[in-house]
Amino acid sequence: MAEIRPLTQADVPRIVVFLREHMSGWPLDERAVVGLMLDHPWADDELQSLVAVNERDTIIGFTGVQARRMRFDGRPLRGVCCTHAVVDPAHRGGAVGALLLSRILAGPQAVTWADSATEAVARVYGIFGGHVDYARACDWMLVLRPVRWARQIAAAAARREPVSRRTFVPVGAMPIQAAGRRLLRRAFPDLPADVRSDNASVDAIAEHVPALNRQRRVWIDHDPEQLDRLFRLVETFRGPLVRRLVRRGDRVVGWYAYLLGRGGPSRVLHLAGLDQEIDAVLGDLLSHARRRGSAVVTGRAEPHLQAALERRFAVLGFARQPVVRAKEPDLAAALATSASLLTRLEGEVFGI
């Protein structure tokens, strides 16, 4: 019978080895695991990552827990993002995975989610009243430089390199928007003259988060210390991170963060703003990414982005199976709408 217990500092070296053995492309080292799951600003003794060990104290399963501080209709609540749920193949026929997840789902947090779940994980969420989060199951793609994008794909094909979601085609569909500005002018609306953006510090972002989210019912209550830790880890393990505050005139109307692509797509981790300014915030991001040389930009199709993406003829495609479970019916309902803000920056940011 497996023993389920909280992750400790002493477990970290073995956990890293375990994850590298059983998760393809596992990118993080011991320092990152500690920074994400043990020694971080939002660490909570009641919300801990779990390890499953057998009678010989061999690790046979693991589920990471990242605590989140959230707001729902103005009041604070706790959330949990579950990451890197893995069971040793020799024990997947048993109940180890279900035991790990059920222990976490029975915790005191108001909402639990994972950005990418297997069918088995989705079933466990269903038992506890959760469901597949279809509102966040798709990714979007916009081609900013059609000629460069086509040349990159052709060059990769000539080298017999795979063309995949991680390289040049983050969404498996042919975007009509790639026809370019000359043939499809409507897909490339001009950025309003009074909209501009600047590089943003963690203090500046945290200062404006409450005002920018006042139209949302559910959002992550970012603070400078937590953002600084997260941004440092992202830049260490995912590459250059662009983060900017967007202004219309002198008024801050939104902010975004994206990974600048190096020979591949740039990936949006977060885009937030006032409802009436989302189109301008996305427009500024796309303009900035194009100036920095990006041929393609991709991100998760968050509910609040629908109109702005539709205006630009973005192509959508199913990307993963996110799951969510909220204890309060009103909270569960809000999470499925544009009144919520739960982006990749707040989820499995290292699982892209």
pLDDT digit string (tens) for 22-72?
887 778 889 989 988 998 899 999 999 999 999 999 999 999 999 999 999
C-alpha span between 169 and 108 (Å, rounded): 40
Does 223 fall in a domain?
A: yes
Give me the DSSP letters along 84-130. Answer: EEEE-GGGTTTTHHHHHHHHHHTSS-SEEEESS--HHHHHHHHHTT-
Expressed as residue numbers, the domain containing 20 is 3-136
Domain shared by 42 and 67, yes or no = yes
Domain shared by 261 and 127, yes or no = no
Does 273 fall in a domain?
A: yes
Structure token pair of residue 190: 């001009």
Residue 167 pLDDT exceeds 90: no
Does 277 fall in a domain?
A: yes
Residue 163 pLDDT exceeds 70: no
pLDDT tens for 192-220 read 999 999 999 999 999 999 999 999 999 99
pLDDT tens for 138-152 read 999 999 988 887 787
State the DSSP code for 77. E
- For the chain, the average pLDDT equals 91
pLDDT tens for 207-253 read 999 999 999 999 999 999 999 999 999 999 888 999 999 999 999 99
Domain shared by 123 and 158, yes or no = no
- Of 136, 156, 182, the residue at which a domain comes to its end is 136
Domain shared by 160 and 105, yes or no = no
Domain shared by 29 and 178, yes or no = no
CATH number, residue 296 = 3.40.630.170
Q: What is the mean pLDDT of residues 4-22?
A: 94
Domain shared by 73 and 190, yes or no = no
Domain shared by 171 and 276, yes or no = yes
- Of 136, 156, 187, the residue at which a domain comes to its end is 136
Residue 352 pLDDT exceeds 60: no
Does 34 fall in a domain?
A: yes
Domain shared by 118 and 167, yes or no = no
Does 66 fall in a domain?
A: yes
Q: Which of 108-122, 140-154, 261-275 has the lowest mean pLDDT?
A: 140-154
Domain shared by 115 and 201, yes or no = no
CATH number, residue 42 = 3.40.630.30
Which pLDDT does position 150 carry in this prediction? 77
Do residues 294 and 144 touch, judged by C-beta distance below 8 A?
yes
Residue 106 pLDDT exceeds 60: yes
Q: How confident is the model at residue 174 (pLDDT cuts 50, 70, 90)?
A: confident
Residue 135 has, within 13 A of its CA and on its CB side, a CA count of: 20
- Of 71, 104, 136, the residue at which a domain comes to its end is 136
Does 348 fall in a domain?
A: no
Domain shared by 132 and 31, yes or no = yes
C-alpha span between 176 and 96 (Å, rounded): 46
Instruction: Give the count of domains, the chain.
Output: 2
Does 93 fall in a domain?
A: yes
Domain shared by 221 and 286, yes or no = yes
Domain shared by 166 and 96, yes or no = no
Residue 180 pLDDT exceeds 80: no
Does 345 fall in a domain?
A: no
pLDDT tens for 301-348 read 999 999 999 999 999 998 889 999 999 999 999 999 999 999 999 998
Which pLDDT does position 351 carry in this prediction? 67
